[in-house]
C-alpha cells in the first residue's frame, strides 16, 4: 500500500485538515479520509486530546488507498473514539498536521486555539485499562457525592475551596483525619496518568467548549468530575504521598488545570478573568513537553489577545523565542511586577554564549525549581525608587540590539568573597551539609581553620545576618522569621563551630530548624559577603567582583557582572539589610542617582 502524501495547505486561507473516521468495531481496520477546510467556515467536528507516548512505537492508519504511519497511541485513541454505526469527523494532531513540514507545523500550531475553541467538544483519551478505569470512576463518583452533600449541591463549593476573596486558593484547606475508606491507590493512579502532565492539554482543555474523558470501556465522564475529585481531596488533606515523581507532578498539574479549565468553580471561572501570559508561563514549567519552544507556543492559543511579537515559528531558535517572550513580558507587566519574570533566573553555569536576561521558559519542573525561585512576597528591595530615569517605550526597555535590555536602578555593593556552592548532595546529607556550613562560616568570616573555636571572629551581627541569609528570612509555612528562629539558627552555627571537628557534629543538627525555617533555597546556590559586610545568598556562579543592584520593579536584589561597559544578569539574590528598600533610602540620603544598566 502506498504511503499517504499530504496536500499543501493554503496558509493565507487558514486551511486545516479534518479526519473523517469511518464506523467500525474496536478491532476493525481503521479507515478514514482527510478533508481540507478553512477555519472561516468549519463543519461540526470533535477534537481528540491524548498522549503521543513512545515515538518509536507506531501504527498504520488507512487513508483512502494509502497508509500513514502515526504514533501507536494515536491508533489507540482513534479506535476508542470511533463510532460503531456512523462516521465521526475529528481533528487529531498527529494525522491532521504534516509533522514533517516544519513551516506547516508552525502555522497549524498557531491555529490550534481556534481549532479547539470552535469544535463541538474535546474527546480526552486517558487510559484503556478497564480495571483502573472502574476504580478511578468509582472514587470520583464517591467524592462527588460527598462534596455535593457538604456544599448544598456544590452551590458554595467555589468559595469554600478558594476563600471568600480568592486571595490564596492553594493554602485554603480543611485538614481532616486520614480516611481509611478512601481508595488511595485509585487516587494515585489518577494522579499518575500521563495526560495530566502533558503541556498541550492546558490549551486543549481550557479553550474547548466541553471535555469528555474516556477511561477503558466506561461511558465518557466530564473532565471536571476528575479535576474536582482531586481538588476536594486536596482541600480535605487526603492526598497522602505514595511515592514516585509522576504522581507528585501530576497532582500539581491537575490543580493548575482545575483553576483554568473548570468554568464554574475554578479560579478563572469565578473571577471571570482571562489567563495572563506571565501566569501561564510560570505554571507551564510544571508540565512535560518534548519540544522546548512549546513551553511558549502551547500557551498562546489561550490568550484572548494574542501577542503580535511572539509568533509560532519552529524555524526560529529556542534562544530567539525566549528573547522575544521575555522582552514581551517585561514590556507589558505593570511597574509593580516589572521584573518578576527575572526572579526565575539563577544561572548554573557562566552565561557566556546566551542572553543572560532570558527567562528559562523552555525548561521543565525539575530543571527550573532547583534552585527554587526565591519567595518574593516577603520583600520589595526597590521600595522608594522613583520613575527616573524613564525606561523608553519598547520591548523591556531601550535596547542597543536584540540581545540587550536596559534597566534603571542602583549599584549597591560588590561581592568580595563567596562560599562553595551548596550542591544538591550536600543539601540532602546531614554530615555533608554540616561540613559545607562549617566551611562557609570560615570563608565568609575570612578565617583559616582555627585550632580553637574561640579564635573565630564571629560577632552576633555576623551570625544574625548569616542566619537570615541561610533562611532567606522565611518560615517553612509562610511569613518572616522572627528573632526566635534567628536565634535557633545561630545556636546551630555555634554548636557547629564549637565541636571539636565538624565530623563529630550531629548530622541532624539543622533538622529542627528545617521544620520551621526555609532552608530549601540553599541548594545549588552559594553564600557570599560583600565589600560592605552584607551577607547574601545567590546563584552558584556568583563570584567576587559581581555587583549587587536594586533594579526598579524588582522585589529582590539582582547580581550583575560587569562586561565591557555592559553587564550580564547572574540572577536574583537575598542580601541582608537591603531587602525592604534600605539601599534606596541610603542612596536618597547620600544624594545618589539611579543609573541605567545595559544587560547582555
Q: Are strands 58-63 and 66-71 parallel, antiparallel or unpaired?
A: antiparallel
Whole-structure pTM value: 0.85
CA distance 593 to 94: 57
Q: Which three cell numbers stand for residue 414?
A: 560588590
Question: What are the start-end ranges of the H helices in 413-564?
Answer: 424-427, 430-444, 460-471, 483-498, 511-516
Q: Give bridge partners of residue 598 from the DSSP assignment.
A: 406
Query: What is the percent of the chain with per-residue pLDDT over 70, rounded to a whole number?
Result: 90
Residues 6+ apart with CB under 8 A from 334: none
Q: Which residues of 102-217 form beta strands (DSSP E)?
A: 122-127, 211-215
Does position 269 have pLDDT exceeding 60, yes or no?
Answer: yes
Instruction: Check whether the bond before 121 is cis (ω within 30° of 0).
Output: no
Taken as a whole, the chain contains a residue count of: 600
Average pLDDT value over all residues in the chain: 88
Q: How large is the angle between the packed helices 184-192 and 245-261, nearest 10 degrees?
A: 80
Reported as a single tens digit per residue, the pLDDT across 37-61 is 999 999 999 999 999 988 788 899 9
CA distance 299 to 278: 10
Does position 88 have pLDDT exceeding 70, yes or no?
Answer: yes
For Cα atoms 37, 40, 42, give the angle at the middle one, nearest 5 degrees: 50
Q: Which residues of 265-385 form beta strands (DSSP E)?
A: none
CA distance 205 to 121: 10
CA distance 157 to 323: 41
Q: Which residues of 387-462 form beta strands (DSSP E)?
A: 405-418
Reported as a single tens digit per residue, the pLDDT across 435-450 is 999 999 989 987 655 5
SS3 472: coil
Neighbours of 483 (CB within 10 A): 8
pLDDT of residue 196: 98
pLDDT of residue 296: 96
Neighbours of 350 (CB within 10 A): 13
Contact 434, 505 (CB under 8 A): yes
SS3 547: strand
Going by the DSSP 8-state scheme, the letter that residue 219 receives in this structure is: P
How many Å is the maximal CA-CA distance in the chain? 88
Contact 259, 286 (CB under 8 A): no
Structure confidence at residue 323 as a pLDDT band (50, 70, 90): very high
- CB burial class (10 A; 0-12, 13-18, 19+) of residue 504? exposed
Does position 86 have pLDDT exceeding 90, yes or no?
Answer: yes
pLDDT of residue 165: 46
Structure confidence at residue 395 as a pLDDT band (50, 70, 90): very low
Torsion angle, CA of 259/263/265/270, rounded to 10 degrees? 90
Contact 125, 50 (CB under 8 A): yes
Low-confidence winner among 57-71, 157-171, 238-252, 515-529 (lowest mean pLDDT): 157-171
Structure confidence at residue 179 as a pLDDT band (50, 70, 90): confident
Compute the average pLDDT of residues 142-170: 73
Helix or strand holding residue 254 (H, E): helix 245-261
For Cα atoms 515, 519, 522, give the angle at the middle one, nearest 5 degrees: 165
Contact 417, 526 (CB under 8 A): no
Q: What is the CA radius of gyration of the chain?
A: 27
Q: Give bridge partners of residue 407 from the DSSP assignment.
A: 597
Q: Which three cell numbers stand for residue 178?
A: 486520614
Q: Which three cell numbers stand for residue 480?
A: 518572616
Laid out side by side, the sheet with 211-215 consists of 66-71, 58-63, 31-38, 15-21, 88-91, 46-49, 122-127, 211-215, 221-222
Going from the C-alpha of 323 to that of each of 293, 331, 417, the distances in angstroms are: 12, 12, 32
Reported as a single tens digit per residue, the pLDDT across 367-393 is 655 688 888 888 889 888 765 444 444
CA distance 205 to 119: 12
Reported as a single tens digit per residue, the pLDDT across 570-592 is 999 999 999 999 999 999 999 98
Question: What are the start-end ranges of the H helices in 544-598?
Answer: 582-590
Does position 213 have pLDDT exceeding 70, yes or no?
Answer: yes
Does position 499 have pLDDT exceeding 90, yes or no?
Answer: no
CA distance 234 to 219: 26
SS3 588: helix
Q: Which three cell numbers stand for residue 541?
A: 556562579
Contact 562, 364 (CB under 8 A): no
What is the dihedral sign for C-alpha 578, 581, 586, 591? positive
* Pairwise pLDDT comparison (237 vs 229), residue with the higher score: 229
pLDDT of residue 476: 83
SS3 567: strand
CA distance 418 to 480: 25
Q: Phi, psi (5° rounding) for residue 173?
A: -135, 155
Does position 400 have pLDDT exceeding 60, yes or no?
Answer: no
- CB burial class (10 A; 0-12, 13-18, 19+) of residue 484? exposed
Picking from 204, 56, 16, 62, the residue whose alpha carbon sits closest to that of residue 125 is 204
Query: What is the percent of the chain with per-residue pLDDT over 90, rounded to a whole number?
Result: 63
CA distance 360 to 321: 11
CA distance 367 to 285: 9
Compute the average pLDDT of residues 501-513: 80
Neighbours of 267 (CB within 10 A): 19
SS3 436: helix
Helix or strand holding residue 230 (H, E): helix 223-235
What is the residue extent of each domain of the chain?
Answer: 11-120, 126-271, 422-523
pLDDT of residue 396: 45
CA distance 325 to 322: 5
Amino acid at each position: 500500500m502506498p504511503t499517504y502524501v499530504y496536500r499543501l495547505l493554503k496558509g493565507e486561507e487558514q486551511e486545516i485538515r479534518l479526519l473523517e473516521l469511518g464506523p467500525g468495531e474496536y478491532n476493525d481496520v481503521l479507515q478514514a479520509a482527510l478533508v481540507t477546510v478553512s477555519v472561516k467556515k468549519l463543519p461540526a467536528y470533535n477534537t481528540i486530546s491524548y498522549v503521543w507516548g513512545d515515538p518509536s512505537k507506531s501504527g498504520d492508519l488507512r487513508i483512502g488507498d494509502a497508509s500513514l504511519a502515526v504514533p501507536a497511541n494515536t491508533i489507540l485513541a482513534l479506535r476508542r473514539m470511533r463510532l460503531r454505526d456512523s462516521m465521526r469527523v475529528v481533528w487529531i494532531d498527529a494525522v491532521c498536521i504534516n509533522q514533517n513540514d516544519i513551516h506547516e507545523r508552525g502555522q497549524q500550531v498557531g491555529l490550534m486555539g481556534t481549532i479547539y475553541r470552535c469544535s463541538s467538544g474535546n474527546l480526552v483519551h486517558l487510559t484503556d485499562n478497564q480495571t483502573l478505569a472502574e476504580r478511578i470512576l468509582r472514587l470520583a463518583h464517591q467524592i462527588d457525592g460527598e462534596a455535593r452533600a457538604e456544599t448544598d449541591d456544590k452551590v458554595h463549593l467555589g468559595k469554600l475551596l478558594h476563600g471568600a476573596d480568592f486571595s490564596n486558593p492553594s493554602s485554603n484547606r480543611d485538614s481532616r483525619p486520614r480516611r481509611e475508606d478512601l481508595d488511595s491507590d485509585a487516587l494515585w493512579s489518577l494522579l499518575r496518568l500521563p495526560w495530566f502532565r502533558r503541556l498541550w492539554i492546558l490549551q486543549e482543555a481550557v479553550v474547548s467548549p466541553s471535555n469528555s474523558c474516556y477511561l477503558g470501556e466506561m461511558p465518557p465522564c466530564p473532565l471536571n468530575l476528575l479535576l474536582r475529585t482531586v481538588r476536594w481531596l486536596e482541600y480535605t488533606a487526603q492526598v497522602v504521598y505514595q511515592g514516585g515523581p509522576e504522581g507528585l507532578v501530576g497532582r500539581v498539574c491537575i490543580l493548575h488545570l482545575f483553576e483554568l479549565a473548570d468554568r464554574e468553580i475554578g479560579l478563572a471561572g469565578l473571577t471571570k478573568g482571562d489567563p495572563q501570559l506571565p501566569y501561564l508561563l510560570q505554571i507551564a514549567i510544571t508540565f512535560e513537553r518534548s519540544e522546548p519552544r512549546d513551553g511558549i507556543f502551547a500557551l498562546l492559543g489561550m490568550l484572548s489577545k494574542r501577542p503580535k511579537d511572539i509568533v509560532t515559528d519552529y524555524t526560529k531558535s529556542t534562544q530567539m523565542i525566549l528573547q522575544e517572550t521575555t522582552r514581551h513580558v517585561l514590556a507589558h507587566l505593570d511597574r509593580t511586577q516589572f521584573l518578576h519574570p527575572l526572579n526565575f533566573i539563577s544561572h548554573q553555569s557562566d552565561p557566556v554564549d546566551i542572553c543572560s536576561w532570558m527567562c528559562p521558559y523552555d525548561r521543565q519542573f525539575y530543571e527550573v525549581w532547583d534552585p527554587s525561585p526565591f519567595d518574593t512576597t516577603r520583600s520589595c528591595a526597590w521600595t522608594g525608587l522613583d520613575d527616573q530615569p524613564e525606561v523608553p517605550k519598547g520591548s523591556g526597555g531601550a535596547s542597543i540590539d536584540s540581545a540587550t535590555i536596559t534597566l534603571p536602578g542602583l549599584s549597591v555593593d560588590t561581592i568580595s568573597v563567596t562560599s562553595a556552592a551548596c550542591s544538591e548532595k550536600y543539601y540532602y546529607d546531614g554530615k555533608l551539609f554540616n561540613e559545607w556550613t562549617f566551611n562557609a562560616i570560615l570563608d565568609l568570616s575570612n578565617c583559616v581553620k582555627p585550632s580553637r573555636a574561640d579564635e573565630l571572629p564571629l560577632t552576633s551581627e555576623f551570625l544574625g545576618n548569616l542566619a537570615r541569609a541561610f533562611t532567606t528570612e522565611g518560615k517553612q509555612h509562610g511569613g518572616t522569621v522572627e528573632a526566635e528562629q534567628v536565634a535557633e539558627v545561630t545556636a546551630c552555627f555555634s554548636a557547629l563551630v564549637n565541636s571539636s571537628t565538624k565530623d563529630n557534629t550531629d548530622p541532624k543538627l539543622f533538622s529542627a530548624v528545617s521544620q520551621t525555617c526555609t532552608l530549601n533555597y540553599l541548594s545549588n546556590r552559594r553564600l557570599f559577603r560583600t565589600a560592605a559586610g552584607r551577607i547574601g545568598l545567590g546563584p552558584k556562579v556568583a563570584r567576587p567582583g559581581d555587583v549587587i543592584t536594586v533594579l526598579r520593579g524588582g522585589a529582590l536584589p539582582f547580581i550583575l557582572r560587569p562586561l565591557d561597559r555592559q553587564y550580564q544578569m547572574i540572577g536574583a539574590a537575598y542580601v541582608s539589610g537591603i531587602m525592604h528598600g534600605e539601599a534606596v533610602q541610603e542612596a536618597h540620603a547620600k544624594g545618589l542617582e539611579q543609573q541605567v544598566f545595559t544587560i547582555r
